[in-house]
């Protein structure tokens, strides 16, 4: 999981691929050799302001935005390639797409046709993945996977045969971008495979998520295009290597702390549209913005969004404010509701999930080489 990167003069000038999305501690006292270099790099990391990209290595796909609820991008699997729309998810590590399934929950419009791929290799290994919204059970296989111009050969991936709670989704499968240690299947994630095979030059990927429009979202592999954010990136160290989890100082409204009063943890998560937290704290936020609960959502007057206060997340000493326009969604009937949602997964510490509602406002960089996340105001 831990990558060693070169000194700050090295720029991400090679193999930068942008995949537009469809929207549906202290140093040791004595150091020597590699340990000294490793710690030096942590203290003096490469500067992303120097990053550039070569147009010949740039891949862009058509975009589609579905109600600001989910972001998916095209990949292909097999030889000849079969196309799928998957969620690029920093909250999980496994890649899977549907296989033939007769269950009502298997509602994906397409499934992988094994016999049509000359490079397909099945296995007897089965696994189950549980998400906040549902679960899948499938078996592990190997094949060639392409993300734009990036090619991962002999890539392990899952084929679902049983699905629960995923009915009516606007995507085929999921492409996990978290660390290998949380893989349910135990397979090497595609990002690690791409890096090991030399398909990307640096262990970095980044997201820009468009706002209320069908076009513009991208995920970048191997570097960062700074035209998608304003100012400098603010770097946040992970609590520990192995998951995109950081320490958050507090959450405030009108200079009053409303949650995370003693510090808490936050998962930076592209696989969920909401901002999720403990039930009593989310309920307190809903009370403060005067929502009305109905059918699992908390509604508010759309007119009121002009006057509702910003809610600010303070992370590593930096303030990340969200205006009401950012934390209030609009449904298909034009009604407005809160992006805040109870996290039903119980944890020993107060934990928040910063999903797409937060990441639409803040461009995000996931740096596996230095085990950190970078945030900056999105353009």
The token duo for 15 is 């193999």
Are the CB atoms for 255 and 309 separated by under 8 Å? no
The token duo for 186 is 């135990």
Cα distance from N-terminal residue to C-terminal residue, the chain:
31
275-277, strands of its sheet edge to edge: 245-248, 264-268, 351-354, 275-277, 340-342
Cβ–Cβ contacts within 10 Å for residue 102, how many?
Answer: 6
Cα(244)–Cα(157) distance, integer angstroms: 21
**Which residues of the chain, if any, have pLDDT below 70?**
1-67, 101-109, 214
Cβ–Cβ contacts within 10 Å for residue 76, how many?
Answer: 17
The token duo for 227 is 């035209």
Q: What is the pLDDT of residue 139?
A: 95
Cα(194)–Cα(357) distance, integer angstroms: 29
Q: What is the pLDDT of residue 17?
A: 55
The token duo for 6 is 């070169």
Cα(207)–Cα(217) distance, integer angstroms: 8
Q: What is the dihedral of CA 201, 202, 204, 206, to 10 degrees?
A: -40
Could you tell me how far CA 144 lies from the centroid of its own chain? 23
CATH of domain 60-200: 2.40.70.10
Place of tokens 């928040």: 352
Q: What is the pLDDT of residue 108?
A: 63
Domains 60-200 and 226-378 share a fold: yes
Cα(219)–Cα(302) distance, integer angstroms: 31
CATH architecture of 226-378: Beta Barrel (2.40)
Cα(161)–Cα(140) distance, integer angstroms: 11
Are the CB atoms for 249 and 320 separated by under 8 Å? no
Q: What is the pLDDT of residue 314?
A: 98
Query: What are the boundaries of each domain within the chain?
Result: 60-200, 226-378
Q: What is the pLDDT of residue 38?
A: 42
Q: What is the pLDDT of residue 134?
A: 84
Closest CA to 221 of 201, 193, 198: 201
Closest CA to 81 of 138, 109, 139, 120: 120
């Amino acid at each position: 999981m831990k990558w060693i990167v070169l000194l700050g003069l090295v720029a991400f000038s090679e193999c930068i691929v942008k995949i537009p999305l469809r929207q549906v501690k202290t140093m040791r006292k004595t150091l020597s050799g590699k340990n000294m270099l490793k710690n030096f790099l942590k203290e003096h990391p490469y500067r992303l302001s120097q990053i550039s990209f070569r147009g010949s290595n740039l891949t862009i796909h058509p975009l589609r935005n579905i109600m600001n609820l989910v972001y998916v991008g095209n990949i292909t699997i097999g030889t000849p390639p079969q196309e799928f729309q998957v969620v690029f998810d920093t909250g999980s590590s496994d890649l899977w797409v549907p296989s033939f399934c007769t269950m009502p929950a298997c509602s994906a419009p397409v499934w992988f046709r094994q016999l049509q791929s000359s490079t397909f290799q099945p296995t007897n290994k089965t696994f189950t993945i549980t998400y906040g919204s549902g679960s899948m059970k499938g078996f592990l296989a190997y094949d060639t996977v392409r993300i734009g111009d990036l090619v991962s050969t002999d890539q392990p991936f899952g084929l679902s045969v049983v699905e629960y709670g995923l009915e009516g989704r606007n995507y085929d499968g999921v492409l996990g971008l978290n660390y290998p240690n949380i893989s349910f299947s135990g397979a090497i994630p595609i990002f690690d495979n791409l890096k090991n095979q030399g398909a990307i030059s640096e262990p970095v990927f980044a997201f820009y998520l468009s706002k209320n429009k069908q076009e513009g979202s991208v995920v970048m592999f191997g570097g960062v295009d700074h035209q998608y954010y304003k100012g400098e990136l603010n770097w946040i160290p992970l609590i520990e290597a192995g998951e995109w989890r950081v320490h958050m100082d507090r959450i405030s409204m009108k200079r009053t702390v409303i949650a995370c009063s003693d510090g808490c943890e936050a998962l930076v998560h592209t696989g969920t549209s909401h901002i999720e937290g403990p039930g009593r704290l989310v309920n307190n936020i809903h009370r403060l913005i005067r929502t009305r609960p109905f059918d699992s959502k908390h509604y508010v007057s759309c007119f009121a969004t002009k006057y509702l206060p910003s809610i600010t997340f303070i992370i590593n000493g930096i303030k990340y404010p969200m205006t009401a326009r950012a934390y209030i969604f609009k449904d298909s009937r034009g009604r407005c509701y809160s992006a805040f949602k109870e996290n039903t997964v119980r944890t020993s510490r107060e934990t928040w999930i910063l999903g797409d509602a937060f990441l639409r406002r803040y461009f995000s960089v996931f740096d596996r080489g230095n085990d950190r996340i970078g945030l900056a105001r999105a353009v």
